[in-house]
């Protein structure tokens, strides 16, 4: 492990973010081309290396506790990393690295790229902070950093759609974070501590009726970020209006962080597995509504946004079942969802880059122009619909089996039907974009440029690898599931000062 | 092969076997397609390529299935569902905020029920 | 002290009322600020102690630690509120700048007119 890796993982993107404007100015003075892009790629790859260096220690079964300023846990702020934190950190840094590489060409036509990369590294710092911290208020602060940078990223192009979407996102999102702050205030008033492990130790001593309000505030606050029905309405607007690279980052990384925060607070901090069934039921509603709304969309990005809502429903269903197989399936689906959802948004970005629109009524017959892109879109569509041998099948299968084993066969049946609907709306998307008659003005559209194709291909390969060898994915996810179900170990490791 | 397959309770999924089987079936399908190739020569004429649109003259490139119509049968079946759901997605910020508060109340009540107080 | 909590909850309720029923973007942002200020008041009241002293390391602290702990106000909520105020300023400033852009694009501040993205 790199020494001080936990704090480096947060500080590195934060410093890189504030160095970015300087790099931009220097590059303009000296006439160096693409300096900002290379700097961002270097920073994000370094981040990935730092996160990966923690892998052997954490998978060895140890909970990494890093005390800031040498203060021991209940008093000082600490970073605590167990299997779950590390899984999310891996997803976040991996997806961010691919999206930065993708942005190299995709954002090349935009102005003000200094700001874009600054915000990008800031959102990465925020996500890493939320993921690695062991202190609930610290989590709130990083969550706000993440949210504010994401509002700004949505508004990046400053045309009417992005401004409108960003305002809606900002007001709804800030209401959500206010709920989280209120929840933290109530918890502090009740227990007098802000450390997650310490809170988890002390909360069972409180009367159960006292935790209802803070818990509901937390679930609502994080539920807004992950677009749980009925708190989802900002999301299609934001994803449609944001640049595709940003939408890819949101759907892959930010949603993952939101789920992590929700699960950590509900299962570790409050330790209430009893409300899992509520999460599963809400997940079911989320899944059904997302799939039905996706069916009627005309805009490809909006369709993907609704499908994102639907997939979050699957993850919540798996995690909410609360059995070890269900949680494993939910986390595996979280991992897979990050892979194929990012990939699909990147493909939409490639189409927008070449054609200029994502309105499905104006597209058609692009199969002849972009055969590789079309194939990759097919892989993504089949993976997300849970068709073997792609990765979506493996994780959905685990969730189905977990549903039946937990005695909730109805959940499984509905989830199966929704899976078929997913295939239906992706067939529609595939048909309207790549098949059918090609409008005349699209006849000289070229294939996706290679630097943009590279991350998409990598993700497609991952889709197939984790589909053909699901055991590999399950092995990656298992430490996270064990960590999530062993909150006693987490508390002991943090408070024991180990 | 069991070590590479995954056991899920009573079921079992051998991804490598399944993938091999799918590839094999795809190959067989390809062979059948090859066997069913066209024998007579295609003789396209302008008249044959024309799309019938009630006597209207249409360029082939102008014809495009409207994505709105693609799943109109499904939408017709689930019309009651859409009647309640679609009006809620108006794009109006006040509606969004209203639903956030409703969501908070729903979550509050269901947590109270699940924990067993109230 | 109960008075403080009542006012805090009143501010939160007022903020929510403003967010739900006002039809002007600037009023919505004011509502958001009022709501957060209510939460700040709640937090600061949690650690407040009438006639308490500031929790600053001094000679007095080391000579009589239990007595100091009994009289000092809780410094943690103050740190939290300070952080949260800074965050809230960020949000309000950003929201207002977005509002300026929205007015340029749409010519109105009515959020129910900002609905070209829908369904």
Check if B110 contacts C (Cβ < 8 Å): no
Which residues numbered 29-88 in B keep a CB inside 8 Å of some CB on C? 86
Q: How confident is the model at residue B117 (pLDDT cuts 50, 70, 90)?
A: low
Q: What average pLDDT does chain A have?
A: 91
Long-range contacts of the stretch B105-112 (C-beta < 8 A, 24+)? B106/A230, B107/A216, B107/A219, B107/A220, B107/A223, B107/A278, B107/A282, B108/A212, B108/A213, B108/A216, B110/A275, B110/A278, B110/A281, B111/A212, B111/A215, B111/A216, B111/A219, B111/A275, B111/A278, B112/A212
**Cβ pairs bridging B and C (under 8 Å):** 29
CA dihedral A347, A351, A357, A362 (to 10 degrees): -110
Chain A residues closer than 8 Å to B117 by CB: 208-209, 212
Rounded distance, CA C24 to CA C111, Å?
Answer: 6
pLDDT at A262 over 90: yes
Residue contact B91–C111, C-beta within 8 A: no
pLDDT, tens digit, 9 for 90 and up, residues A367-406 = 888 999 999 999 999 999 998 889 999 899 899 989 988 8
The dihedrals phi and psi of A78, each to the nearest 5 degrees, come to -135, 155
Q: CB of A169 within 8 A of CB of A154? A: yes
In tens digits, chain C (119 residues) has pLDDT values of 688 899 999 999 999 999 999 999 999 999 999 999 999 999 999 888 777 777 777 776 777 777 777 777 888 889 999 999 999 999 999 999 999 999 999 999 998 888 888 76
pLDDT, tens digit, 9 for 90 and up, residues A481-491 = 999 988 888 88
Q: CB of C102 within 8 A of CB of A163? A: yes
Q: How confident is the model at residue B65 (pLDDT cuts 50, 70, 90)?
A: low
Q: CB of A393 within 8 A of CB of A415? A: no
* Residue B64 covered by a domain: no
Rounded distance, CA A83 to CA A423, Å?
Answer: 33
| pLDDT on residue A32 | 87
Q: Is A111 left (phi over 0), alpha (psi -120 to 50) or beta?
A: beta
Chain C residues closer than 8 Å to B91 by CB: 114-119
* Residue B60 covered by a domain: no
Residue contact A137–C80, C-beta within 8 A: yes
Report angle CA A225, A229, A232 to the nearest 5 degrees. Answer: 45
In total, chain B counts a number of residues equal to 118
DSSP characters over A370-420: -HHHHHHHHHHHHHHTT-TTSHHHHHHHHHHHHHHHTT-HHHHHHHHHHHH
* Residue B57 covered by a domain: no
| pLDDT on residue B78 | 82
Cα A222 to Cα A96, A229, A425, C80, distances in angstroms: 21, 12, 28, 20
Name every residue whose Cβ is closer than 8 Å to that of residue B6 and which is 6 or more positions away in sequence: A394, A470, A471, A474, B12, B13, B14, B15
Task: Kindly give the interhelix angle for A470-485 and A450-468, rounded to the nearest 10 degrees.
Answer: 80
| pLDDT on residue B3 | 41
| pLDDT on residue B64 | 66
Please, what sign has the CA dihedral across residues A283, A289, A290, A291? positive
Tokens of B34: 């090859």
**Could you say which of C112, C118, C119 has the minimum Cβ distance to residue B94?**
C112
Q: How confident is the model at residue A465 (pLDDT cuts 50, 70, 90)?
A: very high
The dihedrals phi and psi of A72, each to the nearest 5 degrees, come to -75, 155
Among A395, A269, A404, residue whose Cα is nearest residue A334: A395
pTM above 0.90, yes or no: yes
DSSP annotation of A359: B
Element (H, E) at B8: strand B6-8
Count up the domains in chain B and report the number: 2
| pLDDT on residue B1 | 33
Rounded distance, CA A393 to CA A388, Å?
Answer: 5
Q: How confident is the model at residue B12 (pLDDT cuts 50, 70, 90)?
A: low
Rounded distance, CA A248 to CA A342, Å?
Answer: 5
Check if A76 contacts C (Cβ < 8 Å): no
| C-alpha B44: how far from chain center | 34
Check if A135 contacts C (Cβ < 8 Å): no
| pLDDT on residue B4 | 46
* Residue B103 covered by a domain: yes
* Residue B45 covered by a domain: no
**Neighbouring chains of C at 3+ CB pairs within 8 Å?**
A, B
Tokens of A356: 């200029």
| pLDDT on residue B2 | 39
pLDDT, tens digit, 9 for 90 and up, residues A204-226 = 888 888 889 999 999 999 999 99
Report angle CA A280, A93, A475 to the nearest 5 degrees. Answer: 60
Place of tokens 């789920």: A259
Q: How confident is the model at residue B10 (pLDDT cuts 50, 70, 90)?
A: low
Rounded distance, CA C98 to CA C119, Å?
Answer: 23
* Residue B86 covered by a domain: yes
Chain B residues closer than 8 Å to C115 by CB: 90-93
Rounded distance, CA B84 to CA C30, Å?
Answer: 32
Rounded distance, CA A459 to CA A95, Å?
Answer: 9
Rounded distance, CA A161 to CA A242, Å?
Answer: 9
Mutate: best of A164, A175, A220, A233, partner B, most B CBs <10 A: A233
Residue contact B117–A176, C-beta within 8 A: no
Check if B21 contacts A (Cβ < 8 Å): no
Higher pLDDT, C57 or B92: B92
| C-alpha C64: how far from chain center | 35
- The shortest C-alpha distance from C45 to chain B (Å) reads 25
Name every residue whose Cβ is closer than 8 Å to that of residue A441 and which is 6 or more positions away in sequence: none
DSSP reduced 3-state for A270 = coil
Rounded distance, CA A236 to CA A303, Å?
Answer: 8
Q: CB of B69 within 8 A of CB of A185? A: no
* Residue B17 covered by a domain: yes
Domain C2-113 has CATH 1.10.287.3510: yes
> In this predicted complex, what is the ipTM?
0.94
DSSP characters over A123-162: HHHHHHHHHHB-BHHHHHHHHHHHHHHHHHHHTTT-SHHH
| pLDDT on residue A388 | 82
Residue contact A213–B74, C-beta within 8 A: no
Q: How confident is the model at residue A407 (pLDDT cuts 50, 70, 90)?
A: confident
DSSP annotation of A211: G
| pLDDT on residue C1 | 66
DSSP reduced 3-state for C52 = coil
Rounded distance, CA A426 to CA A419, Å?
Answer: 11
Task: Kindly give the interhelix angle for C25-47 and A160-191, rounded to the nearest 10 degrees.
Answer: 20
Tokens of A283: 């997940």
pLDDT, tens digit, 9 for 90 and up, residues A29-44 = 998 888 899 999 999 9
Mutate: best of C30, C91, C106, C115, partner A, most A CBs <10 A: C91
pLDDT, tens digit, 9 for 90 and up, residues A331-344 = 999 999 999 999 99
* Residue B63 covered by a domain: no
Domain locations in chain C?
A: 2-113
Domain containing residue B27? 2-35
Element (H, E) at A458: helix A450-468
pLDDT, average across residues A127-150: 94
């Amino acid at each position: 492990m790199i020494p001080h890796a936990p704090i480096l993982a947060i500080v590195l993107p934060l410093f890189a973010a504030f160095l970015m404007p300087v790099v931009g100015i220097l590059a303009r003075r000296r006439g160096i081309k693409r300096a900002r892009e290379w700097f961002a790629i270097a920073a994000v790859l370094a981040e990935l290396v730092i996160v990966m260096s923690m892998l052997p220690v954490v998978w060895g079964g140890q909970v990494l506790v890093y005390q800031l300023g040498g203060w021991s846990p209940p008093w000082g702020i600490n970073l605590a990393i167990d299997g779950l934190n590390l899984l999310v950190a891996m997803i976040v840094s991996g997806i961010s690295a691919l999206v930065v590489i993708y942005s190299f060409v995709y954002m090349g036509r935009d102005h003000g790229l200094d700001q874009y990369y600054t915000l990008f590294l800031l959102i990465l710092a925020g996500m890493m902070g939320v993921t690695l911290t062991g202190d609930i208020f610290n989590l709130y602060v990083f969550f706000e950093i993440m949210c504010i940078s994401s509002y700004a990223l949505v508004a990046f192009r400053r045309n009417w759609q992005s401004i409108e979407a960003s305002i809606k996102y900002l007001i709804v999102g800030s209401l959500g974070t206010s709920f989280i702050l209120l929840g933290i205030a109530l918890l502090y008033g009740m227990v007098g501590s802000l450390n997650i492990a310490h809170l988890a130790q002390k909360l069972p001593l409180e009367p159960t009726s006292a935790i209802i309000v803070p818990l509901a505030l937390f679930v609502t606050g994080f539920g807004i970020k992950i677009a749980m029905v009925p708190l989802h309405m900002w999301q299609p607007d934001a994803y449609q209006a944001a640049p595709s690279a940003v939408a890819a980052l949101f759907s892959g990384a930010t949603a993952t962080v939101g789920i992590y925060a929700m699960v950590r607070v509900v299962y570790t901090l409050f330790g209430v597995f009893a409300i899992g069934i509520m999460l599963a039921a809400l997940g079911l509603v989320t899944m059904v509504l997302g799939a039905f709304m996706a069916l009627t969309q005309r805009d490809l990005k909006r369709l993907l946004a609704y499908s994102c809502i639907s997939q979050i429903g699957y993850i919540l269903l798996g995690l909410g079942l609360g059995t070890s197989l269900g949680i494993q399936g939910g986390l595996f689906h979280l991992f897979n969802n990050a892979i194929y959802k990012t990939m699909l948004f990147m493909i939409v970005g490639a189409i927008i880059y070449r054609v200029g629109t994502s309105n499905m009524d104006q597209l058609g017959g692009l199969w002849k122009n972009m055969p590789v892109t079309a194939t990759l879109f097919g892989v993504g569509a089949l993976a997300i619909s849970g068709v073997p041998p792609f990765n979506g099948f493996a994780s959905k299968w685990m969730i189905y089996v977990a549903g039946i084993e937990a005695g909730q066969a109805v959940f499984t049946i509905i989830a199966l039907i929704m899976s078929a609907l997913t295939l239906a709306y992706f067939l529609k998307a595939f048909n309207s974009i790549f098949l059918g008659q090609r409008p005349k003005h699209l006849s000289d559209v070229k294939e996706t440029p290679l630097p943009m194709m590279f991350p998409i291909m990598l993700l497609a390969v991952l889709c197939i690898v984790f589909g053909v060898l699901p055991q590999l994915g399950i092995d990656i996810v298992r430490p996270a599931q064990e960590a999530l179900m062993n909150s006693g170990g987490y508390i002991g490791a943090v408070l024991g000062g180990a | 092969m069991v070590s590479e397959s995954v056991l899920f309770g009573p079921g079992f999924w051998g991804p490598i076997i399944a993938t091999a089987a799918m590839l094999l079936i795809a190959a067989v399908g390809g062979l059948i397609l090859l066997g069913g190739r066209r024998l007579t020569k295609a003789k396209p004429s302008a008249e044959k390529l024309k799309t019938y649109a009630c006597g209207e003259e249409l360029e082939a490139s102008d014809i495009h299935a409207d994505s709105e119509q693609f799943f109109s049968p499904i939408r017709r079946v689930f019309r009651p569902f859409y009647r309640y759901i679609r009006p809620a997605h108006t794009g109006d910020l006040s509606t969004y905020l209203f639903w956030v508060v409703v969501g908070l109340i729903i979550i509050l009540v269901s947590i109270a029920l699940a924990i067993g107080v109230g | 002290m109960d008075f403080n909590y009542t006012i805090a909850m009143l501010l939160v309720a007022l903020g929510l009322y403003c967010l739900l029923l006002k039809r002007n973007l600037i009023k919505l942002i004011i509502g958001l600020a009022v709501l957060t200020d209510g939460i700040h008041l709640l937090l600061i009241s949690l650690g407040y102690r009438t006639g308490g002293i500031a929790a600053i390391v001094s000679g007095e602290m080391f000579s009589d630690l239990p007595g100091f702990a009994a009289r000092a106000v809780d410094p943690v909520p103050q740190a939290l509120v300070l952080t949260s105020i800074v965050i809230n300023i960020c949000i309000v400033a950003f929201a207002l700048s977005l509002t300026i852009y929205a007015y340029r694009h749409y010519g109105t501040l009515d959020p129910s007119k900002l609905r070209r993205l829908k369904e």
